[in-house]
Amino acid sequence: MNIDEFGLILFVERFQKCVSFYQNLLQLPVRRSQDMLVCFDLPIGYLMVEKGGVAQTREKTRGENPAVLRFDVEDLSKEVHSLKERGIHFLEERCVFEWGTIAVFLDPDGNRIELGEIQTTSASYRT
């Protein structure tokens, strides 16, 4: 298999709110936009937000959505502060594990998003 790029499709119910969230609050650049979907550029591929999902007013359970969006960053504290200034509410601002540290927030449909600051030691999950 010769892969050119990795992409993730996220089906959402609150389409306009989710598009605004990813475009305006997370400031992901739009690659293309259509009536039913918006594709955002990521450094390693793309995130497509498409109509057709089911929203929750709380964090979705793993049974409702077994995936987590994880965006790794160099400076977790700096990114958390910046996103809080843009109006993002964090469920957890700093959860420390032996492999790294994360912060947790939700998109308008209740999908879990984590910012990760990964340790580069041998305990990292990337080894």
Domain ranges of the chain: 1-54, 66-126
Contact between residue 115 and residue 71 where contact means Cβ atoms under 8 Å apart: yes
Q: Is the pLDDT of residue 124 over 50?
A: no
Pick the CATH number of 66-126 from 3.30.230.10, 3.30.720.110, 1.10.1500.10, 3.40.50.720: 3.30.720.110
What is the CATH T-level fold of the domain 1-54, as seen in this structure? Immunoglobulin-like (2.60.40)
Report the chain's mean pLDDT, rounded to a whole number: 93
Backbone angles phi and psi of 100, in degrees to 5: 160, -170
pLDDT tens digits, one per residue of 26-52: 999 999 999 999 999 999 899 999 999
Tokens 């793993």 correspond to 62
Mean pLDDT of 55-75: 95
pLDDT of residue 122: 46
Contact between residue 100 and residue 118 where contact means Cβ atoms under 8 Å apart: yes
